[in-house]
Amino acid sequence: MKIKLHNKAISEISSDIEIVLLDETAYKLHQDFKTLQAAGFEANDDNICLLHESKKLFVGLKSYSSKSLRSALTTAVKTLKKTNYKSAKINAVSHKNIAAMTEGVILGGYSFNEYKSSIKKNKFAQVNISSNNLDFVKLQKNFNDALITAKATNFTRDLVNTTPQDLNPKIFAQIAHDLAKENNFTCNILDEADLENESMNAMLAVGRASINKSHLIHVSYKPENPKYVISLVGKGLTYDSGGLSLKPATSMVTMKLDKSGGCAVLGILKAASELELDIEIHGFIGAVENMIGGDAYKPDDILTSRSGTTIEVRNTDAEGRLVLADVLSYAQEKVDSDYLFDFATLTGACMVALGQYTTGVMGHSNSLKHIISKAAKDSGELVGTLPFNEHLEKLLKSEIADISNVASKPYGGAITAALFLDKFIKDEYKNKWLHFDIAGSAYTETPWDCNSYGGTGAGVRLMLKFLTTISEEN
């Protein structure tokens, strides 16, 4: 899907059809009010009326908020993709909300057809936006930034949607290397010999039954005189069978999504470098495949992590936290950062707690969680915070090691998983670290908002909004 911003009135733009946005007030004053009313149109989100005679697609809005505009443009694009129109035009609403309109078009128009032998091509391919007498320089800056963010989100979606036979740990590392070269940042890859030298025994255990060897990917974007240094850690399980604690067959379908955290980290680095943010960003991805075999790690094994903490394995399907334990340890030692965030499809329990649309945010700093919540709202992503407490922490106690990789009771599973990770966060990082559980928000089999089937790119828009906000406030 293409989108173009024009420094001209909408009447001067040539397109097959015009998209008209109407809230309740504009609807009642519109010259086609009676026709629209007869057609059952309502000025509400996701409500549409296509009048072919006048070549207009009317889209309802609850308000002209970013949320409603993003949803409205997504609805418009999905509707027009089913027609024979080739292009549409629309007026920009405001400098601020041009981002939401751009994202609605690019994200709403996304589809993944890599594995289809025959693709029915849509004729509809372009949306033209009129500047509508707004300051074009300011409008174009916001438009271009939003376009970079949206394309990075779709890049992340493509990676998530790629199947495990086409994206294993080695290929993941190659993708990171190629992206770094293309976007002029650095990439360092650790293979299994390097991981052994780093004593990353928890991460190595998870991947040792797979024919696809594990890799740690470290990508770095380093502008001159950065205002902040940020470390992002991503869970990169290119496939998760559950190991010897084998998942049910139905649960193994879609497990390509278990690399979503690592994919988000690459998407964030891609956009940050293209936006030329004045923030140094390090991305660390534990790229691993959790399989079964004679060499598989087992329940009852005791693993010695990179930090020296010993871990009793009670469930091999709680593998992501084992990988992250070592990668978090590595990231804290290699980079002195102002913030440390990890992204992982870590627990089904997070979906139980918050639903499939919302990312769970956990950590010690309430002020940092508040900043993230504000960034999430502005970005269009949904987050909910889950609280730590000492009683849940006690459930991770092991009688024969320093900690167990699963809690002794099944309740509060998203929180106990985060508390496990907390065991590997150094004291000086406690208030600079947040854990993002994207198990529900990273992938969907039912389209919602601007998300189609498959990967959503969860975390990318959120983190870019956070990064641009702290950059502008400094």
Instruction: Given the residues 70, 208, 256, 321, select the one marked as catalytic.
Output: 321
CB atoms within 10 A of CB 121: 7
- pLDDT score for 140: 98
Instruction: Given the residues 62, 78, 96, 247, select the one marked as catalytic.
Output: 247
CB atoms within 10 A of CB 287: 32
pLDDT at 325 over 90: yes
- pLDDT score for 473: 84
Share of the chain above pLDDT 90, in %: 98
pLDDT in tens, 78-121: 999 999 999 999 999 999 999 999 999 999 999 999 999 988 88
Instruction: Give the pLDDT band of residue 122 (cuts 50, 70, 90).
Output: confident
Nearest Cα residue to 452 out of 3, 2, 112: 112
Task: Say which amino acid occupies 227.
Answer: K
Cα–Cα dist 430/344, whole Å: 18
Nearest Cα residue to 218 out of 166, 250, 180: 180
Q: Mean pLDDT across the stretch 41-54?
A: 94
Known catalytic residue: 321?
yes
Q: Share the mean pLDDT of the chain.
A: 97
Instruction: Give the pLDDT band of residue 33 (cuts 50, 70, 90).
Output: very high
- End-to-end Cα distance, the chain: 35
Known catalytic residue: 89?
no
Give the domains, in start order, of the chain with CATH numbers.
Answer: 2-134 (3.40.220.10), 151-473 (3.40.630.10)
Does this model's pTM top 0.85? My answer is yes
Nearest Cα residue to 347 out of 216, 235, 459, 204: 235
Q: Mean pLDDT across the stretch 419-448?
A: 98
Q: Mean pLDDT across the stretch 124-139?
A: 97
pLDDT in tens, 402-416: 999 999 999 999 999
